[in-house]
Amino acid sequence: MRTGVCYFPEHWPRERWETDVEQMAEAGLEYVRMAEFSWAVLEPERGEFDVEWLDEAIELIGDHGMQAVLCTPTATPPKWLVDERPEIRQEEPDGTVREHGSRRHYCFNSAAYREETERIVTKLTERYADNPHVAGWQTDNEFGCHRTVRCYCDDCAAAFREWLAEKYGSIEALNEAWGNTFWSQRYTSFEEVDPPGPTPAEHHPSRLLDYARFSSDSVVDYNRLQVDLLNEANPDWFVTHNFMGRFPTLDAYAVSEDLDLVSWDSYPTGFVQDRLEGEPTSDQLRAGDPDQLGIDHDLYRAALDRPFWVMEQQPGDVNWPPHCPQPGEGAMRLWAHHATAHGADAVLYFRWRRCLEGQEQYHAGLRKQDGSPDRGYHDASQAGAELAAIEDADHVDAPVALLFDYDNLWALDEQPHAPDFDYWSLLDAFYGALRARGVQVDVVHPKTDLAGYDAVVAPALHLVTDGLANRLTDYVETGGELLFGPRTGVKDEYNKLRPAPQPGPLADLVGASVDQHESVPAHLETRVRRADGDETYGFRTWAEWLEADAATPLLEYDTGGVEAGRTAVVENDVREGTVVYCGVWPDADLADALVRPLLERADVPYCDRLPEGLRVGERGDYTWVTNFSSDRFGLDPDADVEWLLGDAAVGAYDVAIADGRIVDGLSVERLE
């Protein structure tokens, strides 16, 4: 339950530092992140190091009772280094080289850059291994930002071939696994396999999926190089990396396996503009979307099943979204509480002071450019004090797992089969329904042990191995409650269709199979009706026509068209548990109509359907109520509640904390 900030002392005169650090301490900040992007300051010319400034800054921070979190500066190799070793630069598929002048202009597979990385990281670890004020390290910064996970240079081509040879053993095995008979794509040796460059038509989906995996693995390897150096120097400091929001090309689960702590960078009012479907509402522009943030909190928490950090928390207006409205009053405080409710143990604001130079001059800090307090400083101070007053909460214990993984993301991104099919958005549909019922969710990889979960939701579990099918079957047979979304069980792990009808190896479990699938534009009729009643619900984008075998039809298509009367959703009782397969992309009402009985069956406590923007989170013995809207809401819990912060009337962008769990039976009304 701590707060912190990112600080760039190298941007400010030495004589200002004391003032800055004092003001940090006054705000109750406990962690100060530094040295990010500072390579050219640390090593202005090859072999000439200047680290005294960092020594001093760390000392000052320690003197004020705070701790330093250091970053390896590898996201920004200086120009002298790039000019000496130009082969470190990334290449686009068409051979265009990504040059110096911004950041992340290096290739993860460059042997030269790995050498340079080892050199600078070693220099820093040697310097600070024994420094008592250094709590831990962040490797690099936001791996993959600016579309840099996938590179197409010669180093990558060679590494890809090695990766493939390692994976498949023989070229015949690769040809077979990918299915290269199609369009004469068979190879005679691994040497023939290139990164996917410019082609007249689309690429082979199996080749693309392996290039996505290889590229992500390259980052995992590169990160591990740094982690090993850091761990070797001092096994006690923590090592983390700051991931990004809704980030598509890097497997955060895989990177996390080498980390002690997972952290991520949260920019709520930017994310609603550049990575959420649809036009953001006024409230979203002012405070972000709690479920969009929540799904990432829950993913990064689940990655190590351990409290996470928000390594960069939006401090006010930022520079990169299309529009940059001022956050609503109190939003910067709200976000810290919301993250904590989802399991964060620390929230560090980015950055201390608006920078006078470079690409981020239009990015606010906790302090304005003149050093005076900005809106975020007040919010951060208040949040810090309030969070410090809460006794340490336990790790979030979520009763429901949402299955998510990057292989499925990559496979579906390659073949969305509809311009409006987006895997994240489909996840949102199910996640949002759970969160609107006050339920805590772990966003986990399908390989996770599911035994501890009362219910599991798996939207678009596109690639399914026999092993996974068996594990899910076991889960249900031993009493698990499972809900599948559309596009589940379509392919094998190589992104090839199975000969068996969808959902392939899950067909027995589901008790039904898919007769047809289709993607549909918004102006076609898209309604389903209860098989045993009159209620209808909307869907969008995707429709599967199910043929029930053992299963019972729950919903059928209710249109004038070719799908009329066919089955859209089925339910199947399997020994101790139940599985529901939903063949459409549900709207919010339909998602709720699927989720609520799931929770009932799983005996998971839930509340009345919450209004948009209001979310409730239980962590340990506390319940956080966070209001991301400009409306005021009144809470009506089932039992008496002691409010540790706020009360049952929660204003715009405000927070309340109850002592105890209050979700079960809670209802909420909008106040005038």
**Catalytic residue numbers?**
142, 312
Site string for a copy of itself, 312-331 (x = CB under 8 A): ----xx-x--xxxxxxxx--
Q: Are 533 and 507 in contact (CB under 8 A)?
A: no
Q: Which is nearer to Mg ion, 277 or 449 (CB)?
A: 449
Tell me which stretch binds a copy of itself (CB under 8 A): 140-148, 154-162, 220-228, 568-576: 140-148
In 549-637, DSSP assigns E strands to 552-557, 567-574, 577-582, 584-586, 614-619, 622-627, 632-636
Smallest distance from Zn ion to CB 121, Å: 20
Q: Are 288 and 269 in contact (CB under 8 A)?
A: yes
Residue nearest to Mg ion (CB): 397
User: What are the φ and ψ backbone dihedral angles of 84, each rounded to 5 degrees?
Assistant: -70, -40
Contacts of residue 410, defined as CB under 8 A and 6 or more positions apart, other chains included, come to 208, 209, 212, 213, 249
- Helices 375-389, 331-341: axis angle to 10 degrees equals 30
Interacting residue with Zn ion among 60, 153, 233, 464 (CB under 5 A): 153
Site string for Zn ion, 403-442 (x = CB under 5 A): ----------------------------------------
Find the Cα–Cα–Cα–Cα dihedral 208, 209, 215, 217, rounded to 10°.
Answer: -160
Site for a copy of itself in 509-528 (CB under 8 A): 516-521, 523-525
Q: Rounded distance, CA 215 to CA 212, Å?
A: 5
Q: Rounded distance, CA 430 to CA 298, Å?
A: 14
Smallest distance from a copy of itself to CB 407, Å: 16
Residue 623 partner contact from Mg ion, a copy of itself, Zn ion, none using kind-dependent CB cut-offs of 5 to 8 Å: none
Site for a copy of itself in 408-437 (CB under 8 A): 415, 417-419
Site string for a copy of itself, 193-222 (x = CB under 8 A): -x-xxxxxxxxxxxx---------------
Q: CB-based burial of residue 669 (10 Å sphere; 0-12 exposed, 13-18 middle, 19+ buried)?
A: exposed
Binding of a copy of itself by 127 (CB under 8 A): no
Tell me which stretch binds a copy of itself (CB under 8 A): 335-343, 351-359, 390-398, 401-409: 351-359
Tell me which stretch binds Mg ion (CB under 5 A): 98-106, 128-136, 139-147, 391-399: 391-399
Binding of Zn ion by 574 (CB under 5 A): no
Q: Which is nearer to Zn ion, 156 or 602 (CB)?
A: 156
Q: Rounded distance, CA 93 to CA 73, Å?
A: 27
Site for a copy of itself in 260-289 (CB under 8 A): 279, 282, 285-286
Smallest distance from a copy of itself to CB 659, Å: 31
Smallest distance from Zn ion to CB 107, Å: 3
Q: Are 333 and 379 in contact (CB under 8 A)?
A: yes
Q: Rounded distance, CA 219 to CA 534, Å?
A: 52
Interacting residue with a copy of itself among 119, 146, 447, 670 (CB under 8 A): 146
Among 28, 21, 42, 204, smallest CA distance to 122 is for 42
Binding of Mg ion by 397 (CB under 5 A): yes
* Distance spanning both ends of the chain, measured CA to CA: 33
Identify the three-state secondary structure at position 672.
coil
Tell me which stretch binds Mg ion (CB under 5 A): 28-36, 217-225, 237-245, 452-460: 452-460
Residue 627 partner contact from a copy of itself, Mg ion, Zn ion, none using kind-dependent CB cut-offs of 5 to 8 Å: none
Q: Which is nearer to a copy of itself, 25 or 40 (CB)?
A: 40
3-state SS track over 499-552: CCCCCHHHHHHHCEEEEEEEEECCCCCCEEEECCCCCEEEEEEEEEEEEECCCE
Instruction: Indicate the DSSP class of residue 394.
Output: P
Interacting residue with a copy of itself among 167, 498, 527, 530 (CB under 8 A): 498
Binding of Mg ion by 394 (CB under 5 A): no
State the pairing for strand pair 614-619/584-586.
unpaired
Size of the site for a copy of itself (CB under 8 A): 114
Cβ of 95: how many Cβ atoms within 10 Å? 10
User: What are the φ and ψ backbone dihedral angles of 296, each rounded to 5 degrees?
Assistant: -75, -40
Residue 360 partner contact from a copy of itself, Zn ion, Mg ion, none using kind-dependent CB cut-offs of 5 to 8 Å: a copy of itself
Smallest distance from a copy of itself to CB 606, Å: 33
Q: Are 215 and 249 in contact (CB under 8 A)?
A: yes
Residue 357 partner contact from a copy of itself, Mg ion, Zn ion, none using kind-dependent CB cut-offs of 5 to 8 Å: a copy of itself
Residue 151 partner contact from Mg ion, a copy of itself, Zn ion, none using kind-dependent CB cut-offs of 5 to 8 Å: Zn ion
Residue type, 13: P
Tell me which stretch binds Zn ion (CB under 5 A): 45-53, 154-162, 527-535, 650-658: 154-162
Cβ of 322: how many Cβ atoms within 10 Å? 8
Q: Which is nearer to a copy of itself, 200 or 533 (CB)?
A: 200
Site for a copy of itself in 56-85 (CB under 8 A): 73, 76-80, 83
Smallest distance from Mg ion to CB 295, Å: 17
Interacting residue with a copy of itself among 45, 59, 115, 449 (CB under 8 A): 45
Site residues, Zn ion (CB under 5 A): 107, 109, 151, 153, 155-156
